[in-house]
Amino acid sequence: MTGPCTFCGIIAGEIPAEIVYSDEHAVAFLDISQATHGHTLVVPREHCRDLTDIGPDRAGLLMRGAVHTAALLRRALEPGGMNIWHATGATAWQSVFHFHLHLLPRYDPEDLRRAWTHRELPLSSLSPLADRIRTAAAH
């Protein structure tokens, strides 16, 4: 097998999966744990750990594959909507450390719980946070 990465094993054909889309940069396959009907993962062919490791060019090519896959899911399953979801790091619930996007066809607004609650803050309270982020970009 291609090391301990499950997704690398799927890409190499060493681990079985239901692949629904593939191109030279991305592979999309049904998630073995279907959160919704048609829940699909889109992964880069080249191993990268997470969002901080994928780089902008590879991320763009992967997103192309995600857009193609989403169109296939829409045509085949006719969901009322779709979510795209990603987690970087164990704290954010990443469980397989090979970058991946979840495409989640949605049929009912109640079929998944919201990942966060909406709480609008005064814009002025965000200034210190924005300054901190902009300062990090300068270094």
Residue 100 falls in the annotated catalytic set = yes
Output the DSSP codes for the chain.
--TT-HHHHHHTTSS---EEEE-SSEEEEE-SS-SSTT-EEEEESS---SHHHH-HHHHHHHHHHHHHHHHHHHHHH--SEEEEE---SGGGT--SSS--EEEEEESSTTSS--SS------GGGGHHHHHHHHHHHT-
The active-site residue, picked from 100, 102, 118, 139, is: 100
Q: Which residues are part of the catalytic machinery?
A: 100
